Structure 1
């Protein structure tokens, strides 16, 4: 029999209230007690709206990615050219913009590192997000090549993957060393890469 949550409103409240906890403590490290303490709801209320803690974790990941995507898309919408879109994408992750995202850092990095061997359903979600992000950046680059903003010999897929790797790697360096300047330095390299593929 398919599980049906008691209340979509309560379900959403649980997701939004616990998102920062999952993203900070980890999907395995977050306990049911963490959820009840944060929401002030009983264990029965949690499990009345989610089948288990794993289902909460998956819903939270979807929510954190939706929040992240909204910030990125708002930045891209302001850009007029494809080059500006790539620069806007990079710029959304600099240390000055950290507070705009869910507490705990990048959900892709956090969930991907944690789920690769232990939480297959979450790993699949991370894989899809990475694939979608690559396709979006690749599309911007391909369109930019057609518009003669970028050199025609640019490998769109390789460039998209490299930009993503620089962003995620910069976030990792900045957070683990507690030196935001490391993140910004890596992002500067990403901007230089964008300049290097430009026709200008």
Structure 2
């Protein structure tokens, strides 16, 4: 938790950090107020003293989980020297989605997008923006690889970006619903092949 925060900011941050895994595992609808009070040890009044409603806590928890994931990816990308290796970070990180330091409950984008599709516009909007940001970051990496001569100049960066995201998120969904992590491994092999296919010959 950050130092130099006011007492109310510290309490707010504590609520977010403590409930982030619950929302990511149970979802917005599945998370009850008693889940939040039990996890934090705070009263309902204390939680609502820091947040307007449960939705606001859920949005903050989603942002927290997304930032956690983003930091893991950026940390690994920093030590990757080629654009190929930077893109491969996505396959490597999501390969370990069931293990720490990945947020408990899996991918927050997938979880939120599936649940909030028809039930919560604000959470749906958060998930949509996360997908668009992810798409842009992949496109930027591919463009960087094209500019440096590492990737073929006729690569359709947008198509590859969307395909990578669809494969990764679809692979996680299949692995979870079938309780077969090996299914995700198979899908991630396709992601790796897709990245390998970008190389200039």
The normalised TM-score by structure 2 is 0.94
1:84 is matched with which residue?
Answer: 85
Equivalences, count: 196
User: Which range moves more in the overlay, 76-85 or 92-101?
Assistant: 92-101
Residue 109 of structure 2 aligns with which residue?
108
Is residue 170–residue 186 contact of structure 1 (8 Å, CA) maintained in 2?
Answer: yes
Cα deviation, residue 150, structure 1: 1.0
Deviations 1:90-137 (A, max 9, x none): 211103763221111100000000111110011111111111110000
What TM-score, normalized by structure 1, do the two folds share? 0.94
Q: In terms of mean alpha carbon deviation, does 97-106 or 152-161 score higher?
A: 97-106
What stretches of structure 2 of length at least 5 have no aligned partner? 1-5
1:36 paired with 2:37, answer: yes
Contact 1:76 1:89 (8 Å CA) reproduced: no
Unaligned runs of 5+ in 1: none
Query: Could you give the per-residue CA deviations for residues 44-87 of structure 1, whole angstroms, max 9, x where no partner exists?
Result: 11101101101000100000000010011111111111111111
Deviation at 1:147, TM superposition (A): 1.1
Q: In structure 2, what is the Cα distance between the partners aligned to 1:41 and 1:97?
A: 29
Alignment of 1:15-30 (within 5 A): 15-30=16-31
CA RMSD of aligned residues (A): 1.4
Listed one character per residue, the Cα deviations across residues 148-189 of structure 1 (whole Å, up to 9, x for unaligned) are 111111000110111111111111111111111111111011
Equivalent residue number for residue 176 of structure 2 = 175
